[in-house]
């Protein structure tokens, strides 16, 4: 009898360890899509803004295009109570987080929240250090679906173990929550985070400009082009795939760049299989911004079932040529003009056999013919039998989907 009890205890222990040894799987089989408060609102947030944004997303076509998460970033916090449980700011979130998640869920959307692995958040609010299990329990109780977990005030901490602690805490709290790792790529999370989180930031913070560095003194934030080229994409793309994505930061579309720049920004995030997290005020955007954010054919490139992160195939003067293998032997190709002036391009398909060694795809245009679809014009523009000639405006793209005939 004693032996049976011992055996049962061991089985139970192994079972518990097994549960504790995994992230919630299958929550991000394609890159997460949603909205986050930080890029536009920074700390000026409250429950009315969040509800208003959810109303918009549910009714303006974004939800139908695949956007799902409404993510509250830094500065939602109030104080910890005497037992250590965190509460939202009573001034800015007077109805509480459970009421807010009920509201967001009633719109067919999900709610995300933000915390920090250190003692304080980047905005100086209470961090989760030492309170990981309590915070995870609180988020689960509130009905939270997504956690962005930042890396300020973490002196002396090791990233992998620290993120693992939060993964375990979320697991123990029992509610499936997407874990978004945000340590800016400083500790190369692509090497260790596949089993810990569903996405990890690869760069410093994005800035609302196409080609610039914004110097904050001890750190910088970066324009779209700087983000795209900040890390070695060939290294990064090996580690991205369903349920574990590289995250080049939330989008700045609709926050003040030109339409061309916004279009190029969105196209490149799709080519990189990046999470598509809008960062503008959805309640006040113009028709052009909405059209970019809801371009279903571009989104289909991002959300493609193979989950392959694109790569730079070649450069032609100011134009970089990015490609992304897609399901059914299709291929996305994006001519990104990094210069301010128009670029005349000529691309002879038959002289370019595109090979993705990593994923084992070859596109030989002498052997197979493909149709060309312009994903922004939303028109078929020809075939690969003839060289492509086009003008790509400055800071803009020509983005095509090729389909095998």
Residue nearest to ligand GLA (CB): 122
Residue with tokens 């009315």: 48
Do the Cβ atoms of 303 and 371 come closer than 8 Å? no
Task: Specify the residue, 222 or 370, whose C-beta has the smaller distance to ligand GLA.
Answer: 222
Write down the least CB distance from residue 159 to ligand GLA, Å. 14
Among 210, 211, 298, 220, which Cα is nearest to 257's? 210
Do the Cβ atoms of 249 and 6 come closer than 8 Å? no
Instruction: For strands 213-215 and 220-222, give the pairing.
Output: antiparallel
28 binds ligand GLA (CB under 6 A): no
Binding track over 61-80 against ligand GLA, x by CB under 6 A: ------------xx------
122 binds ligand GLA (CB under 6 A): yes
Residue among 150, 249, 262, 330 flagged as catalytic? 150
Count of residues near ligand GLA by CB under 6 A: 9
Considering only residues 127 through 166, tell me which ones interact with ligand GLA, judged by CB under 6 A.
150
Residue among 73, 74, 116, 205 flagged as catalytic? 205
Q: What is the CA radius of gyration of the chain?
A: 22
Instruction: For strands 397-404 and 331-337, give the pairing.
Output: antiparallel
Out of 61, 78, 123, 394, which residue is the one contacting ligand GLA (CB under 6 A)?
Answer: 123
- Identify the three-state secondary structure at position 40: helix
Which range of residues in 115-123, 222-230, 232-240, 258-266 is near ligand GLA by CB under 6 A?
115-123
Q: Tell me how crowded residue 305 is: count the other CB atoms within 10 A of its CB.
A: 12
Task: Decide if 215 is catalytic.
Answer: no
Cα–Cα distances in angstroms (integers) from residue 349 to residues 354, 366, 388, in the given order:
9, 8, 8
Task: Specify the residue, 73 or 261, whose C-beta has the smaller distance to ligand GLA.
Answer: 73
Task: Specify the residue, 200 or 322, whose C-beta has the smaller distance to ligand GLA.
Answer: 200
Task: Specify the residue, 202 or 352, whose C-beta has the smaller distance to ligand GLA.
Answer: 202
182 binds ligand GLA (CB under 6 A): yes
Task: Specify the residue, 38 or 239, whose C-beta has the smaller distance to ligand GLA.
Answer: 38
Which range of residues in 77-85, 121-129, 131-139, 324-332 is near ligand GLA by CB under 6 A?
121-129
Task: Decide if 150 is catalytic.
Answer: yes
363 binds ligand GLA (CB under 6 A): no
Do the Cβ atoms of 199 and 31 come closer than 8 Å? yes
- Those residues whose C-beta lies under 8 Å from the C-beta of residue 287, and which sit 6 or more positions away, are none
Write down the least CB distance from residue 44 to ligand GLA, Å. 12
Distance between CA atoms of 6 and 129, rounded to whole angstroms? 36
Instruction: For strands 69-71 and 33-36, give the pairing.
Output: parallel
Which range of residues in 120-128, 309-317, 324-332, 386-394 is near ligand GLA by CB under 6 A?
120-128
Distance between CA atoms of 209 and 302, rounded to whole angstroms? 22
Cα–Cα distances in angstroms (integers) from residue 61 to residues 159, 290, 292, 301, in the given order:
38, 9, 12, 18
Out of 47, 132, 135, 205, which residue is the one contacting ligand GLA (CB under 6 A)?
Answer: 205
Task: Specify the residue, 112 or 254, whose C-beta has the smaller distance to ligand GLA.
Answer: 112
Write down the least CB distance from residue 111 to ligand GLA, Å. 16
Do the Cβ atoms of 370 and 404 come closer than 8 Å? yes
- In this structure, the dihedral spanned by the alpha carbons of residues 206, 311, 291 and 226, taken in order and rounded to 10 degrees, is 20
Q: Footprint of ligand GLA on this chain (CB under 6 A)?
A: 38, 73-74, 121-123, 150, 182, 205
| Active site residue ranges | 150, 205
């Amino acid at each position: 009898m004693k032996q049976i009890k011992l055996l049962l205890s061991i089985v139970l222990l192994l079972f518990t360890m097994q549960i504790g040894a995994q992230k919630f799987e299958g929550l991000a089989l394609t890159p997460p899509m949603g909205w986050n408060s930080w890029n536009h609102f920074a700390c000026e947030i409250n429950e009315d803004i969040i509800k208003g944004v959810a109303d918009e997303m549910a009714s303006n076509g974004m939800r139908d295009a695949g956007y799902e998460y409404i993510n509250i970033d830094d500065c939602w916090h109030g104080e910890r109570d005497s037992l250590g449980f965190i509460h939202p700011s009573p001034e800015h979130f007077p109805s509480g987080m459970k009421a807010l998640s009920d509201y967001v869920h009633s719109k067919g959307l999900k709610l995300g929240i933000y915390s920090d692995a250190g003692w304080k958040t980047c905005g100086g609010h209470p961090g989760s250090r030492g309170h990981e299990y309590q915070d995870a329990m609180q988020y689960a109780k509130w009905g939270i679906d997504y956690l962005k977990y930042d890396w300020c005030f973490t002196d002396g901490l090791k990233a992998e173990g620290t993120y693992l602690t939060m993964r375990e805490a979320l697991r123990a709290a029992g509610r499936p929550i997407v874990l978004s790792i945000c340590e800016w790529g400083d500790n190369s999370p692509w090497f260790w985070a596949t089993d810990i989180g569903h996405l990890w930031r690869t760069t410093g913070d994005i800035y609302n400009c196409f080609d610039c560095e914004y110097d904050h003194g001890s750190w910088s934030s970066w324009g779209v082009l700087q983000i795209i080229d900040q890390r070695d994409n060939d290294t990064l793309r090996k580690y991205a795939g369903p349920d574990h994505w590289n995250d080049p930061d939330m989008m700045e579309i609709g926050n003040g760049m030109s339409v061309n720049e916004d279009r190029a920004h969105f196209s490149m995030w799709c080519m990189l299989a990046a999470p598509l997290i809008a960062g503008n005020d959805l309640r006040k955007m113009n028709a052009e911004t909405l059209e970019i954010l809801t371009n279903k054919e571009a989104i289909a490139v991002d959300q493609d079932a193979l989950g392959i992160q694109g790569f730079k195939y070649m450069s032609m003067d100011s134009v970089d040529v990015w490609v992304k293998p897609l399901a059914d032997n299709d291929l996305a190709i994006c001519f990104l003009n990094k210069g301010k002036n128009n670029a005349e391009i000529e691309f002879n398909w038959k002289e370019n056999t595109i090979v993705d060694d990593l994923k084992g795809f070859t596109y030989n245009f002498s052997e197979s013919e493909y149709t060309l679809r312009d994903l922004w014009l939303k028109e078929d523009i020809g075939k690969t039998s003839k060289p492509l000639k086009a003008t790509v405006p400055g800071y803009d793209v020509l983005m095509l989907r090729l389909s095998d005939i």
